[in-house]
Amino acid sequence: MTLKLILLVAAAGALGSTLRYLINLLFLRGGVTGLPYATLTVNVLGCFLAGLLFGLFATKFAKYANYAPVLMVGFLGAFTTFSTFALESVTLLAGGAIWKGLLNIALQNLAGLGAISAGLGLVRQICR
């Protein structure tokens, strides 16, 4: 790992988080309500890009695979972590590790929901 790669990952992360914020603003300014469509949009788009980039770095752009973290971790990591979760789950399932894939899906969702609930509960206790 080089300093150059670390800085590129950081810069890509700044771009990913900025784009996510701008997409959120577009939905808010458009008056779109009901479901968190901005989050759904970035998560689904992030998943598509994760699959596309993973496939491209494994085939057509293998010689640039050392730079995959710039887009996969930096940009998509900041744009959405859901894409990483989905890619890892699909990789486990496609690799024949069905139970591990299903366990990963269940644990990520249940632990994530539980952690959100715990954080909100802590805030309620502190702010009484």
Number of folded domains in the chain?
1
Pairwise CA distance, residues 68 & 6, whole Å: 12
Short-list 5, 23, 13, CA closest to 77: 13
Asked if residue 62 belongs to a domain, the reply is yes
pTM above 0.85, yes or no: no
Asked if residue 117 belongs to a domain, the reply is no
Range(s) of the domain holding residue 71: 3-80
Both tokens assigned to 65: 């695979």
Q: Which residues of 67-85 are buried (b: 16+ CB within 10 A; e: fewer)?
A: bbbbbbbbbbbbbbebbbb
Residue keyed to tokens 């789950």: 89
Asked if residue 90 belongs to a domain, the reply is no
Higher pLDDT, 99 or 39: 99
22 within 8 A of 4, measured Cβ to Cβ? no
Q: DSSP labels for 32-87?
A: --SS-HHHHHHHHHHHHHHHHHHHHHHTTTGGGGGGHHIIIIIIHHHH-SHHHHHH
Both tokens assigned to 14: 């700044």
pLDDT given for residue 39 in this prediction: 86
Asked if residue 57 belongs to a domain, the reply is yes
Asked if residue 28 belongs to a domain, the reply is yes
Higher pLDDT, 38 or 9: 9
What value does the mean pLDDT of the chain take?
92
Higher pLDDT, 39 or 53: 53
pLDDT in tens, 60-76: 999 999 999 999 999 99
Q: Is the dihedral of CA 51, 55, 60, 62 positive or negative?
A: positive
